[in-house]
Structure 1
Amino acid sequence: MKFGRFLEARMKPEWRGEYVDYKALKDLIKQAAAETEGLGNGVSFSPRTTSLTVSRGARRGAEERFFEKLEAEVNKVNAFTVSGVERAKKRLKGLQERVRSNKDGRDTEALLEDAKGIGDDFLALEKYVNLNYLGVHKIVKKHDKLLPHAPCQQFYISHLHQQPWVQGNFSNFLVHLSNIYSLLRGDTTGQKNEDDAQGFVRSTTKYWVTTDDASNVKHQILQHLPVFQYNVEGEDQPDSQLINSVYLDNTSLELYHGRLDKRPNALALRIRWYGNAQPPPSCFMERKTHRESWKGEESVKDRFTLPEEKMVPFLTGEYNVEQARQDISAKAKSPEDVDKYMAMFTEVQQAVDSKQLHPMIRTQYMRTAFQIPYDATVRISLDTNLTMIKENPENGPSCHEAGRWFRDPTVPLPRHELTRFPHAVLEVKLSLPEGQKAPEWVQSLLASGMLTEVHKFSKFIHGTSVLLPDMVQAVPYWIDDESIRKSIVQSSAPGGPPTSSASRGAPSSSSMSLHAATAHKPRRRTHEDDELTHPLLGDQPTLQLIQRRDESGEGGGKGWGSWLDWYFNSRKAPSKPKTAPRTTPMRIEPKTFFANERTFLSWLHMAITVGSIAAALLGFAGTATKSKKTGEQATDNLVEIIAMILLPLAVLMCAYALMVFVWRAQAIAKKQVGYIDDRFGPLGLAAVVTIALTAIFIISVVDFTLDLISKS
């Protein structure tokens, strides 16, 4: 579809005259191209000097009129955007006054509808900005294509980024809207949720969100959870906060590979600070310890505070335990706090010294958090503008050599020493009592089609694998996703790709290693790649993408799959709303499949044992029939009856084992929760076995009684 028709199909009808006049600009470009062709040499004549008193003449070229028209269109978009934001703020202020006056709560439903309407209009304005921004990109690209002798794209896009309607930050609008929803819900009152109570099941899931959907996702969430405000002072505070995290590792990337493989007790050490201050007055030393969730264990994250001036001495060991105890004793509330602080201080410093850890990768992003202050049942965070930075420059001293714990901001940052992640990252944390499902609005958000689940996504792992490709021996499974490929290419150094260490080292047991046949070969260059390549990217993807379907069974066909879904899901909640299928990379642990297979083989072992006993009894009954004597007919019938009871039981066990194996395998592949929970199947099978054994016992007693009577 041509962009002009694309723009017309998506523009708001009542705003039709406010969009960039793409067709008129395109016609001016064609006129300019025709004019340059008429000159013969392809370059329009323009004097190299000008005069304040000599007129240039009334006639202007089409290219001049193009730039004049383009600048007028950009100014038009800017004026409309600013006025649209001002109108939305006035409506929001009026709604706030109405909410405060609604003390009896009679107009709550109407106020909620008005709040949603204001939010929807703000999202429509954002869509308007995005469409015009894309339109300007397209038109200057077409200009350079038809007029290659006078390229303007690079300059004009830089000029465009300085426009208020592109550069402006209106996130405080969402904060005010969130406050209105909080007042209408009554979030300011309530009892604290005892999150550490027993019986709670904690789950954390991570999703990718496209930049186009980020504001829409925020709007959906703040209707149910308030925006966490980092600074309660000031009315026009933004909805997000800048977070920097410097991750420590050694030259063998021991911590990276441990986290990638999900080894038990794998560590991640990072130095984190909040806000724009650089360096910050104080920062947090955080430690994350991985634990196996399938064992019923939970990963642990703990941290302690250090002043910025103490960070380098802490990493080098000059700031020792006794000095730290003296400093913390004056600030701690109790001796228990001192002991806890010193225990972690000692453990982290020993890990830094023994593993020779130093700053390697920094992650930087803006975080918007959503949570009811007194309730930790549902906590959501959205990280945008995610950037990973290499802490040790290639053409300069490392942090260790320079006596720093983060990169010197005065040292230039080449493009191949940072990578900009193209998506926002949404993290959903649920703390629910066992057996309780997530709230309906959370389920609707997850099924909205705006989220793409990426199991165990890690900013640290992604940044390390992209920025240090020569040092990694394995890469995460999501590296091959097509949506992030361009960002990886842009982070590569100019020239041919170096030989990746992944093709030399042994691959990780639980992660996707680089394709040995293509990791070290230069990738075919395209016009989009220019002269950039990256050793993580080969000609063939190493990851198979799983096509996700909605749980209503669409696209699944008939047969085993639909029948099993009916059986196992008939006792569960109704299916989620239908959404468009998404192609999502999924990491499946091999041990999960093997566990399902071991369970299947255990059932088969029991079924074969029961069947073998039944077959042996039938063989015994056949042998006994040949030499039977008068009065032994009852014994022969008993053996045959027992065998005929046990054989169907063995067949039933085999059928059940196969059915459950297939169902669980499908659920594991689709990343569906609850695939281990079949509460009625084992109980039903146990009941059948009990009935069969009881019948055998009764028949044996009857046969024994008849045999005694016949002998007497």
Structure 2
Amino acid sequence: MKFGSTLRKSVYAPWKDQYIDYDKLKNLLREHDDDKPWTSDDVTQFTEELANVQLEKVYNFKRDIQEKLKERTTACEKKLEPLALGIKAEDGEDGAEAASSSKDTKSDVPPAEKKKLLQEVLKELDGITKEVKELEKYGRINYTAVIKATKKHDKLRGRSYRLRPFINARLTEKPIYTEDQSPLLYRLSAMYSFVRQSLDGKPQEALSFAENASGKDEFTSYKFWVHKDNLLEVKTVILRRLPVLVYNPQTSKVAEGSQRDPTITSIYFDNQDFPLYTDKVNHVPNAASLRLRWYGQLAEKPTIHLEKKEMKDGDVAEEQRFPIKEKYVQPFIAGKYHMEKQIQKMEARGAQDPQDVNEFKKSVNDISHFIKEKDLQPVLRANYTRTAFQIPGDNRVRVSLDTNLALIREDSLDLDRPCRDPDDWHRRDIDDRQMEYPFKEIRKGERYDFPHAILEIKVRGLKKYEWIEDLINSHLVKEAPRFSKFVQGVAKLFEDQVNTFPFWLSEVEMDIKREPEAAFEEEQKKKQKAAEDDFAVGSLFGARASPSYRPSVISPVGSPAAGTSARKASAPKPSPLVVEQTTKPSAEEIDSDDDGDATIPGRTTGLSSLFPSFSTSKYARSKESAAKAIALPPGVRHPGVWIKDQGPVRVEAKVWLANQRTFIKWQHVSVLLASLSLGLYNAAGESNNIARILAVVYTCVALFTLLWGYGIYMWRRRLIMQRSGTDFDSVTGPLVVAVGLAIALCLNFGFKYRAILTEREHNHARHNGTAAAAALVEMVAERIELVR
């Protein structure tokens, strides 16, 4: 079907004047008029119309509609807010605010008025949901129109100037198709749940989405593109936490570490109309895909698996697969063979569980019927090298890194020039000659080399891993949600046969390498936007209705009852209520060897209690201003106890060792002082009272140091056990010891100096007395001589 017809059929009547004028663009290209030469003025006119008129029109209209939908959603939330506050008051919310809200809401909304309000909101929500769906279709079809018009220009008039790179850059600046509707849908889902449960009279405890969250046995998948310059750094980040999973298909023994990463080949099925591709791009419910998959070269006789994957609600995939030998693939596709020999072997052995045999039969029948119903044939080959990271026997975290991705046409749609023999299921020129990447022997139009590596992280259960969060939010990777090798290959190699394209197509050829600062700022904006959406739901339904809503209050580690509380810097959704947030390690992460960076806020001691402007803690300087910034919005109540404070206390060993190390240092100082005092006392004579007094003073300081060290050790131990948010630092003990020693030394110096002065005076007086006696003797001698 021509794209012009597809575009006309996709028009949403209320917005019919806001779609791209595809016919006007075709007329500007003069598709069927080659008599008049194509000039630079024609290029400028077409480029101006496409990039600055049509694209700008679509972008501005979509942005305006998104803002209106957000405003309508906010208006619905405000209508429901009195009802939600009344319910929370019935739940027994503490405090004066709860009492006042209960009095102001519950009594003012009679049942009849409440039902009418809920029905009006439900009708409005239906209208918003419909327009959200139409807006997603609007963005997709106009995005496809831009790509189609650009490709038509490059095909007809692109000899001197190719427009595609410029349009890709413009689509990055003016994104008209990003599939970023999940935050708004999340808010709508929360209101739908509230309204329907209120109309049905169900208990409001069901508003919590915890039951619908991924269970412990389900995987959460993240997909990213990795620039080739960042490959080594990404690998080293992963290798610090997970080892490389060595794959050896030939034996169950441990493979050698020198073994190469396996090459994986997947052959995808579709027909000439590409319905499987279209359903996958448009996210049609129960969209299915079919592929053959094997490791290594086909000449090595690997195990081939035929796999059918069907997407269910909530992006949950249901997969059917079974192994098949190479010689049976073509008969199975043609409907001439239904795995009868394999089924007979399974039944003859008797060792197989009958349920497994029945499931095998069901998979064979379903896939065979699926191929026949859709008239499927191999159309695309994906060949890539995979490096897997996983702890053996532990599948909680699984990481795969696919490099050297080559997408190759495998179809026989053009009977005059088929890529594959119509009577065979794969290309013999590739498999018989054992071609490898980069497949230079394949014609250029039949091969596409994907420019980036593909990183996929699968996390089992609800546990968060800090290193994964850091990698996801870093400049090393670019998020690529819903990326599919099959969709990418068809979109690039079969552009003329398909009328819709994936939203990421214009970004593939762009440079995804980013500076760390730019990546950080982009991530902060994303978190801020997500926090605003969460806050909108949280302010209406409280913390119960939002699985990820956590009002961020400034406090380090303690419970709300213990003081102010701060989220870690890596928290996934920081609250927009606090502009500046001081984040420091929690009590479990304290290391006393840190140079003043591991202090915990919440306690004012020593000089800071006497002089409020003086502080020995970095946290205390901002504690007062941070506390003033905390203001819970209407409808949001104090959580009472943080989630981290629930369950058994788990403290890292370094926290205990830090406290014990401090205690041992205090005892060391006490022993040194006691040894000094004992030595001083023993060295002093019976008549040296000053030395004895100083020895007693040193003994008192040593005793104080001993008791202080033990007391501080027990006090900090109690704070750790209680997960307290109080400051761990205390300057009183060190000040007392320092001042005591300084006074003792000063007194010692003073007494010693006074003793020296006294001794000098005594010596001087004795010297004067001896001289007088000598003079007297001499005078007496002289007189005796005269008498003689």
TM-score band (shorter)?
0.3 to 0.5
Larger radius of gyration: 2
Higher percent of residues as helix: 2
TM-score, normalised by the number of residues in structure 1: 0.41
Q: Which has the higher contact order (CA 8 A, sep 6+)?
A: 2
